[in-house]
Chain A
Amino acid sequence: MRGHGQLLGLYVPGQSLLHRTPLALKALLCVGASTPVVLIRQPLTTAAGLVLFLLLMTVGARLPPRKVLGALVPALPVLALLALYSWFTRGPESAFVVPGGIAVCILAARLLTVTTPGQELLDGLVRLVRPLRRLGADPERFALALSIMVRSIPYLVGSLSDLRDAAKARGLQRSPRAVVVPVVVNAVAYAQATGQALAARGLGEHAEADDVDGADGSDADGRDGA
């Protein structure tokens, strides 16, 4: 399996200004600067957003430009398709504004992930959703689920690349079924394996799940015996 961590980016250790900035401030900056770009949808705002985040990443986080632009490479095919579609349906302005807004969001998300250690992000998420505890939500579970979702993206992208190569090797590169079906099967298998790994490590389990009598043959966690 290939590693495909580029889209959201792995944490890059460093001592830059943004590395030292508290997570809450960084998150506010990212949300505060990307929201107007998405809402206003003017070429000038989009261009300003792109320039701002490129500067934040290269100057503020001291990341090499190649690494910064590399964040957008996996999304380029989708952005190009969006640009084409927007051009035909709404004109050239939309062809820049729509994919540009998405690119800004990708850069904003990447800015957070590359300058913040994963566990700090997890702690931040737990703090963010803590008020929902009153409604019965489990902040630790929520944060764990979200971080696993983020971790799954590179896996699924890698799975897609591997299966595309496998289809090509068998001369089936023109058959979408030869790629789509195994990707779905792999995704389900991956989800099951991840669930099993979490259960094996006792992660994400409710404290109150214990001591519940599985009289019907199911266990306290609701899993079947087999």
Chain B
Amino acid sequence: MIRFSDASVTAPGEDGGSRTILHPVTLELGEHRISVIGANGSGKSTLLKLINGLTLPTSGSVSVDGLDTARRGREVRRRVGFVFTDPLSQLVMPTGREDVELSLRGRIRRADERRAAGMRVLESYGIGHLADRSIYDLSGGERQLLAIAVVAAVEPAVLVADEPTTLLDLRNEQTIRAVLRGLPQQVLFTTHNLSFAQESDRTLVLDGGRVVFNGEPAEAVAFYQELCLR
């Protein structure tokens, strides 16, 4: 269970004051699939980054399974995997095999076992044949699949994905959507694709740093469309 208790985020403003990125939000998120929609700069990414402690609330608190993200950051990050929009920001090793093995270093001490486990992970995502290819030589879809694989390799309880399909063509987008649908973890994702947003159990709509709708996906999408046309 993810719990936001009056959590807000502010940043220093240009005039010396402070700028509110996310207004105080109180939420309990327990559904299997949760989507977050909203305009650019509405606070979607900040909301997601609060979940694994990448961003900490300026006031209030955020907890995952009872663990406060500010005080128990390391344990929270072990439970919450984060997939970035641009996989190149996320992949830190030259090849997929090395990156997935890096994820597994904390769990598997023996190098040969780690190597075999890493290969199994890549094969389960259908990218075993790309294991030794440079991450720069992969297509956008392959990179995003790899980014999901390296995060899911450590079996987090929650997977957070920030616009995972934004940089992809239609075919790759469908692949990533299918992969996210098939994950056993609780998945939270932001998207600008409204049909993708509806592949969830609950949708949050953000506007100007506020959660302005929180409920059933079809209703949320209708609300958001109306909001954009105002």
The answer to whether A200 and B77 have CB atoms under 8 Å apart is yes
Residue B88 CB within 8 A of the other chain: yes
Roughly how many angstroms separate A224 CA and B56 CA in the complex, as a whole number? 7
* Proximity bits, B101-123, A CB within 8 Å = 1, else 0: 11101100001001100000000
Query: What are 12 residue pairs bridging A and B, where the CB atoms are less than 8 Å apart in the complex?
Result: A2-B136, A3-B134, A3-B135, A4-B136, A117-B97, A117-B98, A197-B91, A198-B92, A205-B77, A210-B74, A214-B71, A220-B70
Q: Quick one: given A3-B134, A210-B75, are A199 and B92 in contact (CB under 8 Å)?
A: no
The answer to whether B10 and A199 have CB atoms under 8 Å apart is no
Residues of B within 8 A of A198 (CB): 92
Task: Categorize the interface residue count of chain B.
Answer: 35 or more
Residue B124 CB within 8 A of the other chain: no
Q: Quick one: given A217-B58, A224-B56, are A119 and B74 in contact (CB under 8 Å)?
A: no
The answer to whether B9 and A221 have CB atoms under 8 Å apart is no
Residue of B nearest to A208 (CB): B74
Residues of B within 8 A of A194 (CB): 89, 92
Roughly how many angstroms separate A37 CA and B73 CA in the complex, as a whole number? 49
Name the one of A11, A225, A226 contacting B95, with C-beta atoms under 8 angstroms: A11
Residues of B105-157 whose CB lies within 8 A of A: 105-106, 111, 114-115, 132, 134-137, 150-151, 154
The answer to whether A1 and B54 have CB atoms under 8 Å apart is no
Residue B209 CB within 8 A of the other chain: no
Roughly how many angstroms separate A210 CA and B10 CA in the complex, as a whole number? 24
Smallest Cβ distance from A6 to chain B, in angstroms?
10
The answer to whether B52 and A200 have CB atoms under 8 Å apart is yes
Roughly how many angstroms separate A193 CA and B89 CA in the complex, as a whole number? 6
Residue B93 CB within 8 A of the other chain: yes
Roughly how many angstroms separate A202 CA and B88 CA in the complex, as a whole number? 17
Smallest Cβ distance from B59 to chain A, in angstroms?
9
Residue B84 CB within 8 A of the other chain: yes
Residues of A189-226 whose CB lies within 8 A of B: 193-194, 196-203, 205, 207, 209-214, 217-221, 223-226
Most buried by A among B12, B81, B93: B93
- A interface, by DSSP: helix, strand, loop or mixed? loop
Residue of B nearest to A148 (CB): B92
Name the one of A119, A151, A202, A214 contacting B77, with C-beta atoms under 8 angstroms: A202
Q: Quick one: given A219-B56, A225-B57, are A118 and B90 in contact (CB under 8 Å)?
A: no
Residue B176 CB within 8 A of the other chain: no
Residue A120 CB within 8 A of the other chain: yes
Roughly how many angstroms separate A154 CA and B88 CA in the complex, as a whole number? 13
Residue A167 CB within 8 A of the other chain: no
Residue of A nearest to B11 (CB): A226
Residue A158 CB within 8 A of the other chain: yes
Roughly how many angstroms separate A198 CA and B94 CA in the complex, as a whole number? 15
Residue of B nearest to A213 (CB): B71
Residues of A within 8 A of B103 (CB): 201, 203
The answer to whether A220 and B71 have CB atoms under 8 Å apart is yes
Known contacts A118-B97, A148-B92, A202-B74; 18 additional CB pairs below 8 A are A1-B136, A3-B135, A5-B136, A10-B95, A10-B134, A13-B132, A118-B95, A119-B102, A144-B102, A151-B92, A158-B136, A193-B86, A197-B92, A201-B150, A202-B77, A203-B103, A214-B71, A221-B73
